[in-house]
Amino acid sequence: MGKVYYVSKNVGLGMLVLAVAALATIIALSIAYDKERAKNRGKPGDEATDSTSMPPPPTTPFIPKEPWDHYRLPDSLVPLSYNVTLWPRLEPDARGMFVFTGHSAVVFRCVKETDLIIIHSNKLNLTTFYGHHAKLTGLGKATVPTIQKSWLVVKTEYLVLQLHSRLAVGSLYLLYTEFLGELADDLQGFYRSEYIEDGVKKVVATSQMQATYARKTFPCFDEPAMKAVFNVIIIHDRATVALSNDSVIDGVPVSVTTFEPTERMSTYLLAFIVSDFLSNSLQVRIWARRKAIADRQGDYALSVTGPILQFYEHYYNATYPLSKSDQIALPDFNAGAMENWGLITYRETALLYDPMLSSTGNKERVTTVISHELAHMWFGNLVTLQWWNDLWLNEGFASYVEYLGADYAEPTWNIKDQIILSDVHKVFAVDALASSHPLSRREEEVNNPAEISEMFNTISYSKVRSSDRISYLNTFAFNNTVYTDLWDHLQKAVENTPGMHIPHTVHNIMNHWTLQMGFPVVTIDTRTGSITQKHFLLDPDSVVDRPSQFNYTWFVPIKWMKTGVEQQQYWLLQKTGMAIDWVLANTNVSGYFRVNYDLYNWDRLLSLLSTNHQENGPREAQIIDDTFNLARAKIISTTLALRTTKYLSKERDYIPWDSALRNLDYYILMFDRTEVYGALQAYLKKQIQPLFEHFKTITANWTKVPTKHTDQYNQINAVGYACGMGVEGCRELIKSWYRQWMENPHHNPIHPNLKSTVYCSAIAFGGVEEWDFAWRMFKNATLASEASRLRAAMSCTKAPWLLNRYLEYTLDPTKIRKQDATSTIQYVARNIVGMPLAWNFVRARWGYIFQQYGKGSFSFSNLINGITKRFSSEFELQELKKFKEENLHVGFGSATLALEQAIEKTTANIKWVTENKAHVLKWFTEESK
């Protein structure tokens, strides 16, 4: 308990500082104004194709449209409860189709007079009663209007009932529907997942409702603020088990499972599952395929869930809101995981862990994903955002506290240091583009399902992190909020904290960070003491056509050190002189900004790196990452950035190495098709060789595993890059391991941590024999993370015919699962030989790929990102633009913004390569001598 107290108190204060300090993003200029607009008219559907566009200017004539043409529900009806019965068929019908049937009764209150009932319904065949798609009855004394006509609106996904007379304000009504839907393999709504166990094909009925797929399961008011209580009944075969959000009520016939009524909750958090899975305990349960449970792959997840739940109960000061917690691993699942209340769904790789076969990285992923999803049980589920434009708050908060929960469960991992690497630096990269967007958008800017999907992009997940929690959760439990409610609570917390000083109100400080995109670069001149800020853009010549009311300035909280000593926090906007001697600002990257200095200070920081190496990984990583990005933005010279890597031959710590390698990856991508590559390779070989030797020694010739968590990661980098750069002995080592495995497939001698790297290198240096062996092992793998490593490794071959064959496999769901298709194409594109093949493949079949894999899919935008990463020539830019034009009629869905960013990044790459190629070649040539 002492430990818990320690963590929550300090982190609590830290978070307060962070929150107030400004790591956020968000929404509208005036929430009141905004909500009025959204209510009264909403955004006309036709204009809603580009979610990044600004609201139409006031001169645009307002074209009245029917209420059912709006993507947002009218505010006249409010649901209270649903009784939903679902019957999925796990066998195909006579047509060979998998279906489900069901009926639903929703009780709603009329809060504004209306003669229309508009409720979401998508892809459901509704039974008609006297010619209408639903039955309407009244509760209590209300006289019930009769239905004049009913119809479905495909575009906005509504069932509309026109009544003969009006519903009475304050009265309750009941709408009954019966429906038939397809239990398709489309990973959306109520869908089916298939797998083979002991030679038998098995089918699971499962669901993914977020963001807009509950309406594909039963007619419902499918918006997050339309919370209601759900009474669920699932009809199923006796040999299977049914799961939903709440506990099972006892004493019912085996094949009809009735669930306790849920708490008041949003439709997008519902879940329904029928399977023959097993679980490994009682109230906190991990479910998976029978074989996976028998192999105890769920044990690790179970062992961390309890502690993490306890941690959050303490952290949020609120007990877990439900009577049970189920987590289930599904063979087919589109996202990584989904925080359905009480029944969390996962990809197998995010929940299952095998101590013999899984790597440290797999284990960390399981811990952090579980921690993330459990954080949502309170923040997101108990208190829910009003609308999807506030998604940043939901995801940002969970992405932050997941590290706290995971750190509690695995205290030896130093997991908080990795926030910098995996989250902060990642968002820096996206948010430094002129085509980025403020995290906060108006409600009316996020309307149709594709736009909602796009809100789940990197920025929403990582840019935000923090808030005050206790009064906030208590005030809004079982209810919805907008982000400004949180600022109000934070403001109170600040006022109640003695000694806490902030330069302005929380609202004002946060608005600078949420209402405008991007972040600043802070420049410190240690000779004059001046400190200035400027909008950081990766391409300084790009045009920002998105005006900002704050003129791209921020309240910047600067934590800094002088001559190695931590100083009091400094708020930029109140300029003062700073004493001389070397300065390092933004210590531990606690602020969302980059830092630049005068050359004199840079020189001293660099010489400290090499002479007085401090073993402070996050700090060194920050210097490396800042210099490389400042150089990309032409604020400092490329040579200065490259100089930060010179000390690495002495570095043994993971955090700075990983930062350097990520940044050098950009050089590799830009130059691996040019003459620069030879010199780059020679330099990197020289730098990485000592690290490779170091690991060889501490692992006793590769027979042991380093004990420290981050050393294990660093070993993976060392081996991977050493082989890539041609360090002596590396390739032979790897080939011999893989050979041994091929000779005895039942005994894999490769340590799980090194498998990804070894498989990839062995297949890259091998031929069809190595590839086909990997394919066989992939097909036989019983552990999802093993299958996933092999799937990535098969993209490493250098043989074009193997790569093309593999690309063909990606569109055949019997070979590569649908959930894995786009990421497999991306893997191929990462390979220098595979890149043009993948690009041709995607261009040739865009219509089909988009139709099959693109609609509302979570990770679809990564496909465009992945393929265009190397693009750096005028020719490639023209091809990209042509691709955009030629496919306008097909569309790009949630990849729309990614395509814009790809064009912007390619343009920047072309300029960068032109300007830097000669210096870079010269520098690497000289330094590799």
Provide the annotated active-site residues: 373
Helices (H), 747-811: 752-765, 768-780, 784-793, 800-810
Query: By CB under 6 A, is residue 468 in contact with ligand NAG?
Result: no
The residue among 408 and 461 lying less far from Zn ion, judged by its C-beta, is 461
Among 180, 196, 256, 500, binds ligand NAG (CB under 6 A): 180
Closest Cα partner for 928 from 653, 646, 660, 717? 646
Among 174, 606, 640, 799, binds ligand NAG (CB under 6 A): 174
d(CA 348, CA 329): 5
The residue among 106 and 330 lying less far from ligand NAG, judged by its C-beta, is 106
| Full strand arrangement of the beta sheet holding 530-535 | 530-535, 520-525, 594-597
Is 547 in contact with 515 (CB distance < 8 Å)?
no
By rule CB under 6 A, what string of x and - marks binding of each residue 121-160 to ligand NAG? ----x-----------------------------------
CB of 479 to ligand NAG, least distance (A): 4
d(CA 375, CA 378): 6
Q: Is 395 annotated as a binding residue?
A: yes
CB of 374 to Zn ion, least distance (A): 10
Pairing of strands 337-338, 343-347: antiparallel
Query: By CB under 6 A, is residue 318 in contact with ligand NAG?
Result: yes
Closest Cα partner for 436 from 516, 555, 548? 516
d(CA 759, CA 547): 49
CB of 372 to Zn ion, least distance (A): 6
CB of 575 to ligand NAG, least distance (A): 15
Q: Is 372 annotated as a binding residue?
A: yes
Q: Which of ligand NAG, Zn ion, none lies near 398, with the C-beta cut-off 5 to 8 A by kind?
A: Zn ion
The residue among 337 and 811 lying less far from Zn ion, judged by its C-beta, is 337
Query: By CB under 6 A, is residue 310 in contact with ligand NAG?
Result: no
CB of 346 to ligand NAG, least distance (A): 26
The residue among 83 and 639 lying less far from ligand NAG, judged by its C-beta, is 83
Intra-chain end-to-end CA distance of the chain, in Å: 57
d(CA 563, CA 614): 13
CB of 548 to ligand NAG, least distance (A): 9
Q: Which stretch binds ligand NAG (CB under 6 A): 112-120, 302-310, 311-319, 863-871?
A: 311-319
CA angle 629, 631, 633 (to 5 degrees): 75
Q: Which stretch binds ligand NAG (CB under 6 A): 17-25, 177-185, 370-378, 597-605?
A: 177-185
Q: Restricting to residues 233-272, name those near ligand NAG by CB under 6 A.
A: none
CB of 80 to ligand NAG, least distance (A): 10
DSSP, collapsed to helix, strand or coil, labels residue 411 as: helix
Report CA torsion sign: 236, 238, 244, 247.
positive
Is 434 in contact with 904 (CB distance < 8 Å)?
yes
Query: By CB under 6 A, is residue 105 in contact with ligand NAG?
Result: yes
Q: Per-residue DSSP letters for 270-291? A: --EEEE--EESSSSEEEEE-HH
The residue among 300 and 555 lying less far from ligand NAG, judged by its C-beta, is 555
The residue among 79 and 342 lying less far from ligand NAG, judged by its C-beta, is 79
Query: By CB under 6 A, is residue 701 in contact with ligand NAG?
Result: yes
Run of H or E including 682: helix 676-698
Among 40, 143, 412, 551, binds ligand NAG (CB under 6 A): 551
Q: Is 376 annotated as a binding residue?
A: yes
The Cβ of residue 749 has, within 10 Å, a number of other Cβ atoms equal to 12
Helices (H), 332-387: 348-351, 360-376
List contacts with Zn ion (CB under 5 A). 395, 398
Query: By CB under 6 A, is residue 471 in contact with ligand NAG?
Result: no
Among 479, 610, 804, 887, binds ligand NAG (CB under 6 A): 479
d(CA 330, CA 348): 6
d(CA 153, CA 737): 60
Q: Which stretch binds ligand NAG (CB under 6 A): 99-107, 338-346, 765-773, 861-869?
A: 99-107
Among 182, 263, 402, 904, binds ligand NAG (CB under 6 A): 182
CB of 481 to ligand NAG, least distance (A): 8
Task: Give the CB-nearest residue to Zn ion.
Answer: 398
d(CA 655, CA 710): 8
The residue among 395 and 485 lying less far from Zn ion, judged by its C-beta, is 395
Query: By CB under 6 A, is residue 231 in contact with ligand NAG?
Result: yes
Q: Which of Zn ion, ligand NAG, none lies near 561, with the C-beta cut-off 5 to 8 A by kind?
A: none
The Cβ of residue 215 has, within 10 Å, a number of other Cβ atoms equal to 24
Closest Cα partner for 144 from 171, 182, 104? 171
d(CA 122, CA 120): 7
d(CA 833, CA 797): 8
Q: Restricting to residues 59-88, name those near ligand NAG by CB under 6 A.
A: 83
The residue among 700 and 888 lying less far from ligand NAG, judged by its C-beta, is 700
What letter would DSSP give residue 85? E
d(CA 196, CA 669): 39
CB of 506 to ligand NAG, least distance (A): 19
The residue among 393 and 450 lying less far from Zn ion, judged by its C-beta, is 393
Q: Per-residue DSSP letters for 203-253? A: EEEEEE-TTTTGGGTS-B--STT--BEEEEEEE--TTSEEEESSPBPSSS-
Residues annotated within the binding site for Zn(2+) are 372, 376, 395
Residue numbering of the annotated binding site:
372, 376, 395
Kindly list the residues in this chain that would bind ligand NAG in the complex (CB under 6 A): 83, 99, 105, 107, 125, 174, 180-182, 231, 313-314, 317-319, 479, 551, 700-701
